[in-house]
């Protein structure tokens, strides 16, 4: 069994795989990481390997504690990957994007695949039908857009995500919701259309914390898979074991 540790910007996700089968997943705060890991190993004592993918920060104390329970692979740009990486600066490529590209490659190594991860940031990652990772794009996520409007102005309020009632906002809150939600939808649909014009028979996979909200509102045909990153990390761990 494998333990997946995905350290994001806002939370730490833990998942347990038995080969390719996802058995369990949860999230925790960094302060409760060691306690949560202990609980996971008590329930799944057959875990022998773990992979740590850290976009956020995870201290050496936590990694040392994890190493007591099993062998640990720290994902980095030096890890082995199954696809050809044509990113100009591979040492700066985020580990989350490496995992998404891996999941895309295994999903169909002979297809043009665009993975959109809608989380703290929105990332676009393109793997072509030759199994080559080309790169993509990074833009602010939904909640970052709300926060930017509040933090970079003197009077705009900080709002929680809400579906705009109408395209035309008739108050400051409704105008913010319209601008943020319709803006990110227009961005993602527009990016998909531009990639589709360049790559034949493009498969688009949407994942991340805001995937469910966005998938129901996008015009383009997509496959929504909230566990796509976890799957990619499990595949990378298996690949690096060999």
Sort 216 into a burial class: Cβ within 10 Å, 0-12 / 13-18 / 19+: exposed
Alpha helices in the chain (DSSP H): 33-43, 60-69, 95-107, 142-151, 172-177, 183-198, 211-215, 228-241
Residue 11 annotated as lining a ligand binding site: yes
Strands 49-54 and 12-18, how do they pair? unpaired
Residue 117 annotated as lining a ligand binding site: yes
Residue 13 annotated as lining a ligand binding site: yes
Strands 203-207 and 113-118, how do they pair? parallel
Cα separation of the two ends of the chain: 15
Residue 96 annotated as lining a ligand binding site: yes
d(C-alpha 216, C-alpha 164), whole Å? 14
| Residue 162 bears catalytic tag | no
Residue 242 annotated as lining a ligand binding site: no
Residue 241 annotated as lining a ligand binding site: no
Residue 6 annotated as lining a ligand binding site: yes
Residue 195 annotated as lining a ligand binding site: no
Query: What phi-psi label fits residue 180: left (phi over 0), alpha (psi between -120 and 50 degrees) or beta?
Result: alpha
Residue 194 annotated as lining a ligand binding site: no
Residue 94 annotated as lining a ligand binding site: yes
Query: Which two three-digit tokens encode residue 200?
Result: 């034949």
C-beta atoms surrounding 114 within 10 Å: 23
Residue 46 annotated as lining a ligand binding site: no
Length of the chain in terms of residues written: 242
Residue 122 annotated as lining a ligand binding site: no
Give 37-45 contacts, CB < 8 A, sequence gap 24+.
Answer: 37/3, 37/65, 37/66, 37/69, 40/3, 40/14, 40/16, 41/3, 41/69, 41/70, 44/1, 44/3, 44/16
Residue 201 annotated as lining a ligand binding site: no
Residue 72 annotated as lining a ligand binding site: no
Identify the active-site residue in 18, 25, 39, 96. 96
Q: Which residues are annotated as a binding site?
A: 6-13, 87, 94-97, 117, 120, 172
Q: What are the binding residues for ATP?
A: 6-13, 120
Task: Cite the annotated binding site for substrate by residue number.
Answer: 87, 94-97, 172
Residues annotated catalytic, as ranges: 96
């Amino acid at each position: 069994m494998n333990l997946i540790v995905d350290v994001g910007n806002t939370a730490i996700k833990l998942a347990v795989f038995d080969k390719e089968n996802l058995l369990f997943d949860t999230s925790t705060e960094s302060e409760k990481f060691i306690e949560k890991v202990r609980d996971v190993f008590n329930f799944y004592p057959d875990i022998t390997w773990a992979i740590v993918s850290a976009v956020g920060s995870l201290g050496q104390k936590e990694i040392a504690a994890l190493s007591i329970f099993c062998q640990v692979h720290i994902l980095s740009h030096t890890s082995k990957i199954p696809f050809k990486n044509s990113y100009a600066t591979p040492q700066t490529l985020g580990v989350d994007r490496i995992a998404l590209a891996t999941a895309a490659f295994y999903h169909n190594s002979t297809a043009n695949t665009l993975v959109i991860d809608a989380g703290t940031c929105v990332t676009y990652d393109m793997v072509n039908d030759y199994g080559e990772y080309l790169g993509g794009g990074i833009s602010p996520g939904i909640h970052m857009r709300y926060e930017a409007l509040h933090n970079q102005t003197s009077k705009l309020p900080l709002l929680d995500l809400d579906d705009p009632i109408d395209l035309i906002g008739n108050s400051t809150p409704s105008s913010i919701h319209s601008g943020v939600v319709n803006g990110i939808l227009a961005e993602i649909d527009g990016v998909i259309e531009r990639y589709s014009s360049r790559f034949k028979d493009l498969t688009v996979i949407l994942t991340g914390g805001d995937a469910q909200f966005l998938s129901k509102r996008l015009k383009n045909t997509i496959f929504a898979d909230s566990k796509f990153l976890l799957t990619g990390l499990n595949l990378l761990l298996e690949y690096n074991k060999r």
